[in-house]
Structure 1
Amino acid sequence: MIYEHAHLVIDPARAHDFESAAPTARKALQDAPGCREVSIFRSADKPGTYLLRVGWDRIEDHLEVFPTTPQAATLADAIAGYFTETPLVIHFESEEI
């Protein structure tokens, strides 16, 4: 499995609206081919900052398959409008070193 970590930054004044949209985003990801788990965490010390953590079967499921799915459009419609900067996305292997 591969873990996507996406660092999301939004206007703190819109945090309530973003968090209200998060279940729709989570559902879209969970329904995507190759997705195994989804979590969204609120920063404890930086208002308006979130971590989206998604477990994918393969990196290709995220980078090649997902962008062409209806779920990707649903995700974008639900939360993309809240970002104040482009999310930083990094993929991690599931095996510990």
Structure 2
Amino acid sequence: MILEHALLAIKPGQSAAFEAAMAKARPLIAALPGFRSIAVRKACESPDLYLLIVEWEDIASHRDGFRLSERYGEWRTLLHPFYEPMPVVSYFGEPL
């Protein structure tokens, strides 16, 4: 199991629209093989910053499964216009 982590910096004033788009995007990722869970949390002190954590069976489920799927195109269309700058994705392994 791995965790995908990204800090999502949203264009100022776009948080409500981003949250609505994320609600539409969640089913796109949840239906894929290797997906386990998704959590999106809003920063307490920065109204336009979110933490995305997605649990996958392995990195390939995200990179080779989701990122190469048609669903990723839909995800990108829904969410990428909100990011400034584009987020950096990192992967984390099992707990120590």
How many angstroms does 1:12 deviate by? 2.8
Q: Percent sequence identity over matched residues?
A: 30
Partner of 2:67: 67
1:15-94 counterparts in 2 under 5 A?
Answer: 15-93=15-93
RMSD between aligned residues: 1.1
Partner of 1:9: 9
Instruction: Give the secondary structure class of the aligned counterpart of 1:68.
Output: coil
How many angstroms does 1:96 deviate by? 1.8
Instruction: Give the secondary structure class of the aligned counterpart of 1:40.
Output: strand
List gaps (5 residues or longer) in structure 1: none
Distance 1:31 1:24 in 2: 13
Question: How many correspondences in the alignment?
Answer: 96
Is 1:30–1:37's contact at 8 Å kept on the other side of the alignment? yes
Greater share of helix? 1
Is 1:37–1:54's contact at 8 Å kept on the other side of the alignment? yes
Q: Normalising by the residue count of structure 1, what TM-score does the alignment of the two structures yield?
A: 0.91
